[in-house]
Structure 1
Amino acid sequence: MVRFRLTPRDGAFFDLLAKTAVEVVRGTEILTRMLGSDRTQRLELAEQLRAAENAADETTHEFLRRLNQTFVTPFDRDDLYHLASSLDDCMDDIEEAGDLIVLYDIGTLPPGVDKQVSVLSRCAELTAEAMPRLASLDGLRDYWVEINGLENQADRAYRHLLADLFRDEPDPISVIKLKGVIDALESAADSFEHLANGIETIALKES
């Protein structure tokens, strides 16, 4: 069945979201490389991650400027703001995790951290694939279902990491440092889910 919409679809909004999502993918790729790098390499990678976060910020600001200047928007104005801010949160959390690894001068990360980062990488890929489809809202259900499943995986990895950390790490300062990184990664997974939930809400409103 063909669906007719009276609200115009301004492609610039979706292009900007897609552009931001590309930087989020870049951020997860850099974060993945940080896990297997030494301290010196991590300094350079942290700069690259910061550059990706700055690029995402610039695109988000451009999105918000356009949103404030546009009288008729493709979706509800609050929904569009939620999409942009949630996507920005994903990037901010990823950058925070990488920054803490460097600032805390962490050597070896717990084995479970790679599971967290792997989940974030998949979330970023799915998100980047989904953004261009917002214009039509077609074929998005699989996206938010898989994101929700990935967030559940991230929750389980987070709980196991904390349990192992509190049981096996004797140094309380190390516990605090590692928990900061683990918490930032968990927050990123939550941000991806918030974004997916927002897209699901829009799809239901517009159906």
Structure 2
Amino acid sequence: MLFGKLLPREGNFFEMFNQHAHCIVDASNAFSALVANYADPRMREKYQHEVDDAERAADRVTHEVNRALHRTFITPIDREQIHLLINSMDDVADLLQDTAEAMALYDLQHVTEEVVLLSDLSAKCCALVQEAVQKLGRIADPAVTEQALKLCEEIDRLEGDADRVLRSAMSKLFRDAVDAREIIKLKEIYELLESVTDKCEDVANHIEGVILENS
């Protein structure tokens, strides 16, 4: 019994998940502002820096979670679940930064309606991820568990919407565009943005796994 008391117990993993989810929302909000202000090069640069800052903050939280895993013997949920969840969350922030960087590197001159739609769906998914993550520390409450699962279902639905937007965008792009360089640029950006929603769905799946095993 004394040995159990002396073992290093759970780091504040749920709080670190919340911090990371906040970074994801910051990155998605900055990306949405980047898209909304894309015609203004000065504002475009400003919001790209904000996306970068949010992604770096998310990286710091991820590193702290991984350090805490090495220091902690008794964790609040399975160690593999913690590892999978924080890394899938970090993938969301990375993809938002990758998309903003691709738009700058490819010197994209204007955003299309499809970029706006996919950006909006990504932002909605990120906000839902934050809501779901915030409930993880209280899944012993059946009402909270039900709310979290509904949020995960909504993320899945939005990811399906993003799939449909991507397919329509690709069809339109290859049917109507005449500049091969523009096709290459937009194809990459569409796919990156849709991947943000894919990764949000991965996060939702991991949250569902945590709930099923621990509630």
Q: Same fold (TM over 0.5)?
A: yes
Q: Tell me whether 1:28 sits opposite 2:36 in the alignment.
A: no
Matches within 5 A, 1:1-207: 10=10, 12-37=12-37, 38-137=40-139, 138=144, 139-207=147-215
Query: Structure 1, residues 168-187: CA drift from partner, whole Å, max 9, x if none?
Result: 11111111111111111111
Alignment-mate amino acid for residue 167 of structure 1: R
Instruction: Among all aligned residue pairs of Structure 1 and Structure 2, give the percentage whose two residues are the same amino acid.
Output: 33
Is the contact made by 1:39 and 1:107 (CA closer than 8 Å) also made in structure 2?
A: no
CA deviation vs aligned residue, 1:98-143 (integer Å, no higher than 9, x gap): 1111111111122111111111111111111222211122231111
Distance 2:197 2:135 in 1: 21
1:149-184 Cα deviation digits (max 9, x unpaired): 010011011111111111111111111111111111
Q: Contact (CA 8 Å) 2:125, 2:155: kept in 1 or not?
A: yes
How far apart are the structure 1 equivalents of 2:196 and 2:74? 31
Do the aligned partners of 1:112 and 1:161 also contact (CA within 8 Å) in 2?
A: yes
- The AA in structure 2 aligned to 1:177 is K
More moved, 170-179 vs 187-196: 170-179
Write the letter of the residue equivalent to 1:20.
H
SS in 1 for 2:66: helix
Contact 1:42 1:102 in 2 (8 A): no
Q: Which has the larger radius of gyration?
A: 2
2:10·2:73 contact (CA, 8 Å) conserved in 1? no
Q: CA deviation at 1:44?
A: 2.1
1:11 Cα offset (Å): 6.6
Deviation per residue, 1:29-68 (Å, 9 max, x gap): 1111111322332122211111110011001100111012
Distance 2:127 2:48 in 1: 21
Distance 2:152 2:106 in 1: 34
- Which of structure 1's runs of 4+ aligned residues deviate more than 6 A? none
Unpaired runs of 5+ residues, structure 2, are: 1-8
Structure 1 gaps, min length 5: 1-8
Using the alignment, how far apart are the partners of 1:40 and 1:164 within structure 2? Answer: 30
Aligned to 1:4: none
Distance 1:134 1:68 in 2: 21
Give the root-mean-square deviation of aligned CA atoms. Answer: 1.6
